[in-house]
Amino acid sequence: RTREKQLQTLFRDTSDGKNSCLFQSLVSYAEDSVRSELKQARAQCIEKLNYLSNNFDLPDIFDKRSIEEFLLQKSKSVLCTASSSARLHYLQKAEPFDILVVDEAAQLKECESMIPLQIPGIRLAVLIGDEYQLPALVKSQVCYEADFGRSLFERLSSLGHPKHLLNVQYRMHPGISKFPVSSFYGGQIDDGENVLRRDYERKHLTGPMYGSYSFINIEGGKESSGKHDKSLINTIEVAAVTRIVQRLFRGTHAGT
């Protein structure tokens, strides 16, 4: 009790309503201590920032191109298109890329394949594609006859270069895969277990027309050019497709 009274006396306000001298001294000490700690922390931050600035090649944060090049220089793998890979040819101070993977390689013209293949440091190139799918689009008949649309994948395949066939498909219903597998792949591709299950075949509407696939003959249709472009349109087919989509929509939302 005696110590408590002594503390109350020390911190008791003076007669004029001001805080005691001891209390003011403690507040002043605390302020000085916090101010000193903040100055010390600020000095340490500045020291570390100066160290980073002097020892690391950091990009200009206000220059988008500088930031992009900095990130590319520090990247271990880069995803890009064949044409945009040209930017990787001119990277300064970058670790060389030694492996190149080209997806959809059978749809990439042979001349376009040269862009990523010339990236400095490439030791191994992996081409992933399917020469039986649609090739690259070539509008010029002269270029088409000169095989300008041929891919590097197709050229190497025609020369007998060894390739690995992914012989299991996991997307098409067996009723759909039967034709391309027998006609283009010599029966070498199998259906995955997931597409062989009965629940994989979905019928949103009853009737043979709405099975896994349908061939619908639209009679009386006539193609015509669009009003503002050269694309061909067939209004009769558009009307038929619209009708089918409407029926599918009503059928799938009947229970909601």
49 assigned to some structural domain: yes
Q: Which two tokens stand for residue 94?
A: 């970058």
Domain tally, the chain: 4
> CB-hemisphere CA count at 13 Å for 35?
6
Tell me what pLDDT residue 14 has. Answer: 52
What does each C-alpha distance from 163 to 105, 153, 182 come to in angstroms? Answer: 13, 10, 20
Taking 80 as the threshold, does the pLDDT of residue 130 lie above it?
Answer: yes
Residue 165 has pLDDT above 80, yes or no: yes
Q: Residue 11: what pLDDT?
A: 55
Global pTM value: 0.63
Q: State the average pLDDT over residues 209-222.
A: 79
Average pLDDT, the chain: 82
Q: Are residues 38 and 67 in the same domain?
A: no
**pLDDT greater than 80 at residue 234:** yes
45/69 same-domain check: no
Average pLDDT over residues 137-152: 87
**Domain, as residue range, for 176:** 167-201
Residues 67, 156 share a domain? yes
Among candidates 247, 182, 185, which has minimal Cα distance to 216?
Answer: 247
pLDDT digit string (tens) for 60-97?
Answer: 777 787 888 888 888 888 999 999 998 888 877 777 88
**Residues 44 and 66 reside in one and the same domain:** no
Please answer whether residues 150 and 109 qualify as being in contact, where contact means their C-beta atoms are separated by less than 8 angstroms: yes
- Within a 13 Å sphere around the CA of 207, how many CA atoms are in the beta-carbon half? 8
Rg over alpha carbons for the chain, rounded to the nearest Å, is: 36
Residues 159 and 242 placed together within one structural domain of the fold: no
